[in-house]
A and B are shown apart, each in its own frame.
Chain A
Amino acid sequence: MEVITVPAEAAMLERVDALIQEKLETIHCPIRTQMQVKLAVEEIFINIASYAYPSEVGQVEVGVDIDGDPPVVTIRFVDQGCPFDPLEKPDPDVTLGLQEREPGGLGILLVKKFMDQVGYVYENGRNILTIKKEIK
């Protein structure tokens, strides 16, 4: 697994995105799947950057691995911020009309819908979120 550690700041998304792009380019990955993976990465990374460290700038470790046939991309996010399980919150109601809609919650929903697996554990003071997607 190739791992980088960056400050948990929205501005670092570009760096993380570049790593994912670089890895996906090593296999034949359809544009649509690339977008879904990058979308999941953005949503998770921005969540961590926004909420993990309320009073300091902490670090996030992002690891990417591609393995298997058909290839499965695994991306792991590790931070030492407040314990937060994004999978715990119920999904927003996507059938509500315009006026009832409040922004928020859609990011994690997109991650769940577009990835094959999303897993979360809190271990030794660290949030560990792992997503997996088969590339086909």
Chain B
Amino acid sequence: MTISKKLDGENLMMALEGRLDTTTAPQLENECKVCLYEVKELILDLEKLEYISSAGLRVLLAAQKQMQKQGGGMVVKNVNETIMEVFEVTGFVEILTIE
């Protein structure tokens, strides 16, 4: 998985490309640990993300919790049909802000 980051003031945009699975989820988890503490809004662009498993959901949940805890927000955008289905089945559509 490739993670491209763009910091714009207090907003951080992360574009994920490839697969967010058991193997790659720790990569995103580490990025979140390092980058999120000074961010007001996290925007996750999933346009080029092909696949997500429960390991990926776990990291998204943790990121969302962290952003809320520090009084910020998180937006997930450009979600493809397959990934949206995973969000629907797991109730993540209610937890995440999806644009």
A residues near B21, Cβ cutoff 8 Å: 13, 42
Asked if B62 CB lies within 8 Å of chain A CBs, one says yes
Asked if A43 CB lies within 8 Å of chain B CBs, one says yes
A: contact size bracket: 20 to 34
> How would residues 18 to 35 of chain A score, 1 for a CB under 8 Å from any chain B CB and 0 otherwise?
000000000000011001
Which residues of A pack against B, CB within 8 Å?
10, 13-14, 31-32, 35-36, 38-39, 42-43, 46, 94-99, 101, 103-104, 106-107, 109-110, 113-114
> B53 is contacted by which of A43, A97, A98, A101 (Cβ under 8 Å)?
A43
**B90 adjacent to A109 (CB under 8 Å):** yes
> B54 is contacted by which of A13, A95, A106 (Cβ under 8 Å)?
A106
**A38 adjacent to B90 (CB under 8 Å):** no
Roughly how many angstroms separate A107 CA and B65 CA in the complex, as a whole number? Answer: 20
**A42 adjacent to B53 (CB under 8 Å):** yes
**B81 adjacent to A39 (CB under 8 Å):** no
A95 and B51 in contact, given A13-B22, A32-B82, A39-B86 (Cβ under 8 angstroms): no
A98 and B23 in contact, given A39-B53, A107-B54, A110-B54 (Cβ under 8 angstroms): no
A-B contact pairs, 30 of them (CB 8 A): A10-B22, A10-B23, A13-B21, A14-B23, A32-B85, A35-B51, A35-B82, A38-B51, A39-B51, A39-B53, A42-B22, A42-B53, A46-B22, A46-B55, A94-B90, A94-B91, A95-B94, A98-B68, A103-B62, A104-B58, A106-B57, A106-B58, A106-B90, A109-B90, A110-B54, A110-B86, A110-B89, A110-B90, A113-B89, A114-B89
B: contact size bracket: 20 to 34
Q: Which of B22, B61, B65 has the most CB of A within 10 A?
A: B22
CB distance from A97 to the nearest CB of B (A): 7
Nearest CB in chain B to that of A113: its residue: B89
CB distance from A77 to the nearest CB of B (A): 15
A residues near B23, Cβ cutoff 8 Å: 10, 13-14
Roughly how many angstroms separate A13 CA and B30 CA in the complex, as a whole number? Answer: 21
CB distance from A127 to the nearest CB of B (A): 19
> A101 is contacted by which of B50, B82, B95 (Cβ under 8 Å)?
B95
